[in-house]
Amino acid sequence: MKLYAVVWIGLILIVGLEVLLTYEHLPAGALLACLLGLALIEAALGVMYFMHLRYERRTLFWSLIPYLLFALVMMDHFWPDALRLMRQRLHGP
């Protein structure tokens, strides 16, 4: 239980760092890069400890990465269509 508490406190500290970074008025590109990096670290900690992926075999972990990349690429390709359709107005009969 002590390990999970330490990870949880670490996640809270990362969120606090993200909030502090937003008040620093950094350039948009630098702020975006910092926040995305911290979000990636948060996601990795959550997956590794709270979803118990840390205790699985490495082959399972590395087999998930291609599927994740595929899902991200597909989302990148279909989001513009979804936004276009959301703004499109259909005329009634």
Which position has the higher pLDDT, 39 or 84? 39
Question: In the prediction, which pLDDT does 20 show?
Answer: 95
Domain membership flag for residue 61: yes
Q: Which pLDDT tens digit goes with each residue over 1-58?
A: 898 899 899 999 999 999 999 999 899 889 999 999 999 999 888 888 887 777 777 7
**Residue 93 within any structural domain of the chain:** no
- Environment class of 3 (CB within 10 Å of its CB; exposed 0-12, middle 13-18, buried 19+): exposed
Residue 81 sits at φ, ψ, to 5 deg, of: -65, -40
Residue 80 lies in a domain: yes
Q: Which of 36, 16, 39 minimizes the C-alpha distance to 28? A: 36
Residues 6+ apart with CB under 8 A from 18: 35, 38, 39
> Taking the chain, what is the end-to-end CA distance rounded to the nearest angstrom?
62
pLDDT greater at residue 67 or residue 80: 67
pLDDT for 92 beyond 70: no
User: Domain for residue 49, yes or no?
Assistant: yes
Query: For the chain, what is the domain count?
Result: 1
- Model confidence band, residue 93 (pLDDT cutoffs 50, 70, 90): low
| Tokens of residue 36, six digits | 């995305």
92 part of a folded domain: no
Contact 57, 49 (CB under 8 A): no
Cβ contacts of 41 within 8 Å, gap of 6 or more:
14
Residue-range definition of the domain harbouring residue 42:
2-87
